[in-house]
Amino acid sequence: MRQTPDLSHFWMPFTANKNFKAAPRLLKAAKGMYYTSTDDRQILDGCAGLWCVNAGHGREEITRAMIEQIHMLDYAPGFQMGHPIAFEAAQAVAEFMPNGINKIFFTNSGSESVDTALKIALAYHRANGEPTRSRLIGRERGYHGVGFGGISVGGISPNRKTFSNSLLPQVDHLPHTHNLEHNAYSKGQPAWGAHLADELENIIALHDASTIAAVIVEPIAGSTGVLIPPKGYLERLREITRKHGILLIFDEVITGFGRLGTATASEYFGITPDLITLAKGLSNAAVPVGAVAAQESIYNTIVNGSAGGIELFHGYTYSGHPLSAAAVKATLELYKKAHIFENAKAMSGVFEQAAHALKGFPHVLDIRNLGLVAGVELKPRTGAPGARAAEVFQKCYEQGVLLRYTSDIIAISPPLIINEEQIEHIFNVLGNVLKQVD
């Protein structure tokens, strides 16, 4: 057994540090569908790490590509210089995107992808002769990372509270689509709620379309509790934004690369936005990397609209890093060769049935799902919101299954290589734990 390290120096992200360090949960290895804890227990990964290990852990194809690349070229600058594999990785990403979305700007995370997409939207309108289009529209209960731009368009109150005096000023928010009265226990997309997209028309009427640059939404809101879009909702957003010359950004950091059994949620829903933010499954989480995929017309407007020199004053030291590019290429090739998306699609029905079998279990208020993602909403304890879900999370971990929770919602989003037996095990453990907690 590996000795527990000194926990005092690492300031952990999005973690109750005092509580964790009093009773740490430490993972030392991973392979396939399983983690190994430091006390040598096998933990079934029911959340693909953080929604990101889509092809399962320890994929040798990705590891080999990264090792070969680091030996050949550890780093090369991406400003005014280039290296071949970054261009090859961009081509590989573009091949997975909807038609017309073929210009790829590399970042290092989903947060950076969001801030990059927002900047591209503003730059596009300026290059297009409409510099007054500077307002950004997000959505309540949206999560778009932790950059100042992402927090500004995001709609999670605790994320915004500490920084509220320093967020971007010209931002509005659409209402969220979650409604238990109308949509509880929906299988797949809820039937009620498409009309909520029409609130965008009210926001446009208030500010005038000539002031609005972009609308950004997650096709499925993951981190705020698996909120599935109502039938017709995303289509209506696309219709309204197109009518008023507003860019539509799909934040696909979670839904990108197979979560719904297709390359993107854009493909699944048959809707082509103007910009798509990517990260997580882009490299199977083997190395940090993100990207923004843009319509060719947006790229051409910005690049060709410049008198010369640098067209977009934006970028990162590690944009298109050789190691990240190698991981991206290997990951996307693996998705194709191993038929990862096809397995996700095949398992979606089994996953849905197993999730909804929890209807009627103690504390369950709602179950919602699409593809290989599900949310189980629990009744909060009086005066202690989130406490019941936290206990469920802990007990599931103790019984060998790792899940996620946010507020009183349990999120399940396993690696896409999952099989029927593993699906059954996840929901059996969750069901048993629900019977154990008060």
87 within a domain of the structure (yes/no) = yes
Same domain, 429 and 324: no
Produce one character per residue of 381-410: b if its CB has 16 or more CB atoms within 10 Å, e if not: beeeeeebbbbbbebbbebbbbbbbbebbb
Same domain, 93 and 139: yes
Tokens for 359? 């209807």
Contact between residue 373 and residue 222 where contact means Cβ atoms under 8 Å apart: yes
Same domain, 140 and 100: yes
pTM check: above 0.85: yes
Same domain, 304 and 168: yes
Partnered with residue 249 across adjacent β-strands are: 216, 275
Overall number of domains in the chain: 2
Tokens for 428? 């059996």
Same domain, 147 and 248: yes
Same domain, 212 and 265: yes
Pairing of strands 404-406, 364-370: unpaired
Chain centroid, CA 389 distance in Å: 21
For 363, which DSSP code?
T
Burial class for 161, CB neighbours closer than 10 Å (0-12, 13-18, 19+): exposed
Q: Which of 317, 337, 357 is the last residue of a domain?
A: 337
Q: Which of 337, 356, 371 is the last residue of a domain?
A: 337
Cβ partners under 8 Å of residue 87, min gap 6 = none
Same domain, 294 and 357: no
Element (H, E) at 149: helix 148-153
Domain containing 384 equals 17-55+339-436
Same domain, 389 and 256: no
pLDDT of residue 4: 81
What's the CATH number where 307 sits?
Answer: 3.40.640.10
What's the CATH number where 396 sits?
Answer: 3.90.1150.10
286 within a domain of the structure (yes/no) = yes
What distance in Å separates the CA atoms of residue 393 and residue 387, rounded to the nearest whole number? Answer: 10
Residue 121, classed as helix, strand or coil, is: helix
Report, in this order, helix, strand and coil percent for the chain, each rounded to 5: 40, 20, 40
Q: What is the pLDDT along the chain (438 residues), one digit of tens a residue?
A: 567 899 999 999 999 999 999 999 999 999 999 999 999 999 999 999 999 999 999 999 999 999 999 999 999 999 999 999 999 999 999 999 999 999 999 999 999 999 999 999 999 999 999 999 999 999 999 999 999 999 999 999 999 999 999 999 999 999 999 999 999 999 999 999 999 999 999 999 999 999 999 999 999 999 999 999 999 999 999 999 999 999 999 999 999 999 999 999 999 999 999 999 999 999 999 999 999 999 999 999 999 988 889 999 999 999 999 999 999 999 999 999 999 999 999 999 999 999 999 999 999 999 999 999 999 999 999 999 999 999 999 999 999 999 999 999 999 999 999 999 999 999 999 999 999 999
Token pair 């050949």: residue = 72
25 within a domain of the structure (yes/no) = yes
Cβ partners under 8 Å of residue 298, min gap 6 = 103, 120, 124, 247, 274, 275
What distance in Å separates the CA atoms of residue 67 and residue 48, rounded to the nearest whole number? Answer: 23
Token pair 């081509």: residue = 91
Same domain, 322 and 414: no
Residue 368 backbone dihedrals phi, psi, to 5 degrees: -140, 150
Residue 366 backbone dihedrals phi, psi, to 5 degrees: -160, 155
Same domain, 229 and 352: no
7 within a domain of the structure (yes/no) = no
In 224-289, where do the E strands start and end? 247-251, 275-278
Tokens for 167? 């967020």
2 within a domain of the structure (yes/no) = no
Same domain, 85 and 225: yes
247 within a domain of the structure (yes/no) = yes
359 within a domain of the structure (yes/no) = yes
Q: Which of 289, 318, 337 is the last residue of a domain?
A: 337
Tokens for 335? 């998705």
307 within a domain of the structure (yes/no) = yes
Contact between residue 332 and residue 96 where contact means Cβ atoms under 8 Å apart: yes
Same domain, 333 and 344: no
